[in-house]
Structure 1
Amino acid sequence: MPPVTSGIPEYDYPITRYGERNMTASGSEPYPPAGVDLSQPSIARIYDYYLGGDTNWEIDRQFAEKLLTEFPILRPIARSNRLFLHRLVRHLTKAGIRQFIDLGSGVPTMGHAHEVADQVAPGKVRVAYVDHEPVAVAHSRSLLRQYGDEERHTAIHADIRDPEGLWKKIEASGVIDLEKPVGLLMIAVLHIQQLPATDSPVSEDLGPQLVATYRNLLPTGSHLAISHVTGEGIPAESAKMLTRIKTMYDNSGSPVIWRTKEQICDLFGEFRIIDPGLTWTPLWHPEEESVTDETPNLGDPSESIVLAGVAKKE
């Protein structure tokens, strides 16, 4: 069993560039680190599996395969969202942003924000990865120790539902200067319902008020990036898929919520949404695509089912 340090498991097996783990000598996967709950599938690890990563366990793969059997398009959807992250980091780095905070960064896989930023401005960009799941934070820390720069990159264990506490942890890391503009990334995180603590009598989603708090915390000149699943304006087959996905995720203990385009736009508040506005992930600044990016096989941009946009605080 791997040891636990400050509540975050440390891995006793090698972590490769994109988070894959080596198998044991018998060919089986290692025992999951302390603090990892395998009684329920994890949204972060399922997403990793869709992207082709290996930081997932059997319970995650079984859940994912049930959906992939019915809806194989989920893999190109996940890939399209990941490539949006790559393009927006390139775009904002070229625009002069030198700090990024990735909220709900999940399991590190298939290219991280700091790697993409360093392609544009080598050695100049700082990145803080934040997640509440121990496995995501542990893998991030392992990767950053091997391939990152401790002065410019950090992985923080925090709850998105506690903006002030999360902000204090980022400040304490010394990696991000919260007095200067940052790129705040909320990529595929807000359609996971942000519910109050289990002992709270309130059950509504906290997403909009949480985003409003983060907007207030951001310094002037910062950018807020959001990608979010929507059930609006999508093909009939995609709508059927979302109904099935919501039922499965809700029943697994990880409830999700799909917002309309107007509701997603409202998350940006008074910030100015930059061109090309809120659009399907494949359509957001396609000129920022890298020659190494593998274009997902989507017949129409709306099949991505994810709207994406970036707004600036002025």
Structure 2
Amino acid sequence: MEHGVTDQGFSADQIDTSKPHPARMYDYFLGGRDNYEVDRTAAEYVVEAHPEVRPSARANRDFLHRAVRAVVSAGIRQIIDIGTGIPTSPNTHEVAREVAPDVRVAYVDNDPIVATHAGARLTNTANTGFVLADVREPKAILDDPVVRELIDFDQPVGLILGAVLHFIKDEENPAAIVATLAEGLPAGSHLVLTHATGEPHTGGVHDRAAQTDVERVYKNATASLSLRSRAEVQPFFAGFELLEPGLLRVPLWRPDGRLPSDDELNKTIFYGGVGRKV
């Protein structure tokens, strides 16, 4: 493939600026500018109730970079990144190609705003593509022509679900979504997953009032928030063998520098892990 490809398939009226969108709010938490006033207002309510959301967003992004390097170092040469969010360099293909220049990446997101940036920031190089799709329809993602053009499902695949499953309600069966995606991947594939939690780290204090305030904000957004405990996140790795050091707060997963303090961990709201399909 000489150029990146996209499957955007949306009209301008599909861009809803009347409600905050989690991807645009996350962009704001990271200090980005690809968001609307409605997103910034909602995000500030979250920051006021839960100030650790900003450092947690950065810690989550840092984890994803480390995890991508790890799976590419393990031999993965093709990645499906679902819920990629507003593009912020270095993006997945840029991080992966620091290790292996031939890595192919299919990006997937359900926000048309992400699609508008795909050509400039995600698919401006060879062997990258973008699909406008929803993780709630996993079979459609696996069968999408752009994904099929980029990904050889006879070879191991890196599947990234970064900060996306906590926007899937229990009744939408997030475990079944992951299982459907995993069924399409051969043995040796890797799952990179992060998930927000309201569970305190060891020694921490659970602030239920702050959690309720945050959940209330997302109820008025385009996707509600379902915070889950470590015990609730672990089953998403069914069929995968967790790589060391397992499923834990994202700063603790193969840190590049010093280990975080207990206070820093208490302010980190994401669990993360990497599994290898057996």
TM, length-normalised to structure 2: 0.89
1:149 maps to: 125
1:133 is aligned, of 96, 107, 111, to 111
Structure 1 residue 46 corresponds to structure 2 residue 25:
yes
Q: Cα deviation per residue 1:186-207 (whole Å; 9 max; x = unaligned)?
A: 0100000258xxxxxxxx1321
Distance in 1, Cα, partners of 2:85 & 2:263? 28
Structure 1 residue 8 corresponds to structure 2 residue 10:
yes
Structure 1 residue 277 corresponds to structure 2 residue 246:
yes
1:215 maps to: 182
Distance in 2, Cα, partners of 1:157 & 1:6? 5
Per-residue deviation at 1:111? Answer: 2.1
Where do residues 21-60 of structure 1 align in structure 2 (5 Å cutoff)? 34-60=13-39
2:4 maps to: none
1:306 maps to: 270
Structure 1 residue 265 corresponds to structure 2 residue 238:
no
1:201 maps to: none
Distance in 1, Cα, partners of 2:209 & 2:185? 38
1:168 maps to: 143
**What letter is aligned with 1:191?**
H
Indicate if the aligned counterparts of 1:77 and 1:296 stay in contact, CA closer than 8 A: no
Distance in 2, Cα, partners of 1:309 & 1:165? 25
Structure 1 residue 181 corresponds to structure 2 residue 173:
no
**What letter is aligned with 2:9?**
G
Per-residue deviation at 1:182? Answer: 0.8
Structure 1 residue 79 corresponds to structure 2 residue 67:
no
Indicate if the aligned counterparts of 2:50 and 2:214 stay in contact, CA closer than 8 A: no
Per-residue deviation at 1:73? Answer: 2.0
2:134 maps to: 159
Aligned-pair Cα RMSD in Å: 2.3
Closer/same/farther in 2, CA of residues 239 and 59 from structure 1, 3 Å limit: same
1:14 maps to: none
Indicate if the aligned counterparts of 2:73 and 2:99 stay in contact, CA closer than 8 A: yes
**What letter is aligned with 1:103?**
I
Indicate if the aligned counterparts of 2:22 and 2:221 stay in contact, CA closer than 8 A: no
1:193 is aligned, of 163, 168, 190, to 168
Distance in 1, Cα, partners of 2:250 & 2:180? 25
Indicate if the aligned counterparts of 2:10 and 2:112 stay in contact, CA closer than 8 A: yes
Closer/same/farther in 2, CA of residues 267 and 49 from structure 1, 3 Å limit: same
Moved more, 278-287 or 224-233: 224-233
Distance in 2, Cα, partners of 1:258 & 1:72? 16
Structure 1, gaps ≥5 residues long: 10-32, 196-203, 290-294
**What letter is aligned with 1:67?**
V
Indicate if the aligned counterparts of 2:169 and 2:226 stay in contact, CA closer than 8 A: no
Q: Cα deviation per residue 1:41-87 (whole Å; 9 max; x = unaligned)?
A: 01000000100111111111111122223433211011010111111
SS at 1:174's partner residue?
Answer: helix
Per-residue deviation at 1:107? Answer: 1.1
SS at 1:299's partner residue?
Answer: helix
Structure 1 residue 100 corresponds to structure 2 residue 67:
no
Indicate if the aligned counterparts of 1:49 and 1:56 stay in contact, CA closer than 8 A: yes
Per-residue deviation at 1:39? Answer: 1.0
- Name the structure where helix makes up a greater proportion of residues: 2
SS at 1:191's partner residue?
Answer: helix
Structure 1 residue 230 corresponds to structure 2 residue 197:
yes
1:23 maps to: none
- Bigger radius of gyration among the two: 1
Q: Cα deviation per residue 1:14-54 (whole Å; 9 max; x = unaligned)?
A: xxxxxxxxxxxxxxxxxxx5531011001000000100111
Q: Cα deviation per residue 1:204-249 (whole Å; 9 max; x = unaligned)?
A: 1321111111121111110111101122234326544322111221
Distance in 2, Cα, partners of 1:6 & 1:92? 28
Per-residue deviation at 1:171? Answer: 5.8
1:16 maps to: none
Per-residue deviation at 1:91? Answer: 1.0
**What letter is aligned with 1:61?**
R
